Amino acid sequence: MASSSSSSPPHQTHIPLPSDPGGKTLEHEAQLSLVPVHVVTEASQLPAEFLNPSPEKQLIIGFDCEGVDLCRHGTLCIMQLAFPNAIFLVDAIQGGEVLIKACKPALESSYITKVIHDCKRDSEALYFQFGIKLHNVFDTQIAYSLLEEQEGRTRVTVDYISFVGLLADPRYCGISYLEKEEVRILLRQDPNFWTYRPLSELMIRAATDDVRFLLYIYHNMMEKLNQRSLWYLAVRSALYCRCFCINANDYADWPPVPPIPDNLVGMGNDPEEEILSILDVPPGKMGRVIGRRGASILSIKESCNAEIFIGGSKGPPDKVFIIGPVKQVRKAEAMLRGRMLELY
């Protein structure tokens, strides 16, 4: 369990215990446990078992980051860590690079599972700003899609579940997160919202809300995921972590992607190897790739069983990222190259 050397914190929040029975809607704060929220400016305020990962004390924590245009060029402001008995808001503005790099062993450790919703931009910011290769991630956005497929629902190519949508789903949490929209409005009005210090009550509450339900969601999902889905989740989470972290050595210094386990081979309908492919788009051709109102990229997504991501306003502006089974990725590459060559 997490412990901290800081004095009794002035902030507290409610979290559902991971041992609570799943599949019910958490309608009242009274159903939840009260835990402290620590604002961290020095590494010594963090739990020792987090700072020094070991196989004897393996951890599962909720994880998220807040910042300004969070990506390789943006500013990481807060890193949230949710333990079963405490939440830590790691202040990257006041603690600086020294504090974030003190977390590097934990964020790269196989002994600490980081539960996060959509890890791509968080991983990119950590990699380019602090040299951290985020590893051993349980991405709840990917897990949700796998559970939908596992339960026979039609795969949706363009609609990735939002965190607010996931929280509202009674199968996993059943909480309305109305305050998220309030924070979104503030962020649109002032993109530097997360840079101001001292942290306001709203900032602390919003940062805490983004992680305090993650362990509960994790345990509810783990009850449903089969072995095949768990392998796909491990692979895709690893590839999502790499997605925007382009480097010159083809990720040779990153932890290897999990191989297909022996117990899933030879049973018919074997899992397929999945890869990340990064396709360069020549100057002026991205419009052809995307198409009017996204029609071209949507058509390709519907034709291929692969995930396709565009850097967009956060960049990189000249690349397309494709994740999926090898044959499907190659098919998507061919279709994308065809779009680049088309003449209007």
Which pLDDT score is estimated for 262? 84
**What pLDDT is recorded for position 22?**
47
CB 141 within 8 A of CB 166: yes
pLDDT tens column, 106-142? 999 999 999 999 999 999 999 999 999 999 999 999 9
Q: The tokens 């590494």 sit on which residue?
A: 43
Q: Which string of DSSP letters, residue by residue, matches 194-252?
A: GG-SSPPHHHHHHHHHTTTTHHHHHHHHHTT--HHHHHHHHHHHHHHHHTT---TTTTT
Predicted local distance difference test score (pLDDT) of residue 8: 47
Of 143, 181, 174, 179, nearest in space to 160 by CA: 143
What is residue 153's predicted lDDT score, i.e. its pLDDT?
81
Average pLDDT of the residues in 236-258:
94
Instruction: Give the pLDDT of residue 305.
Output: 87
The answer to which of 1-5, 200-204, 301-305 has the lowest mean pLDDT is 1-5
- Given pLDDT bands bounded at 50, 70 and 90, which one contains residue 267? low
Whether 294 and 308 have beta carbons less than 8 Å apart is answered as no
Average the pLDDT over 6-28 and give the result. Answer: 62
Q: Could you write out the DSSP letters of every residue in 289-333?
A: HH-GGGHHHHHHHHHSSSEEEE-GGGS-TTEEEEEEEHHHHHHHH
pLDDT-based confidence at 157, cuts 50/70/90?
Answer: low
**Across all residues in the chain, what is the average pLDDT?**
89
For residue 23, what pLDDT is reported? 45
Q: What is the pLDDT of residue 130?
A: 96
Asked if residues 117 and 166 have their Cβ atoms less than 8 Å apart, the reply is: yes
d(CA 159, CA 93): 34
pLDDT of 295 strictly over 60: yes
- In the chain, the domains with their CATH numbers are 11-242 (3.30.420.10), 272-340 (3.30.1370.10)
Does 280 have pLDDT greater than 90? yes
- What is the Cα gyration radius of the chain? 20
Q: What does the pLDDT read at residue 42?
A: 97
CA distance 25 to 221: 15
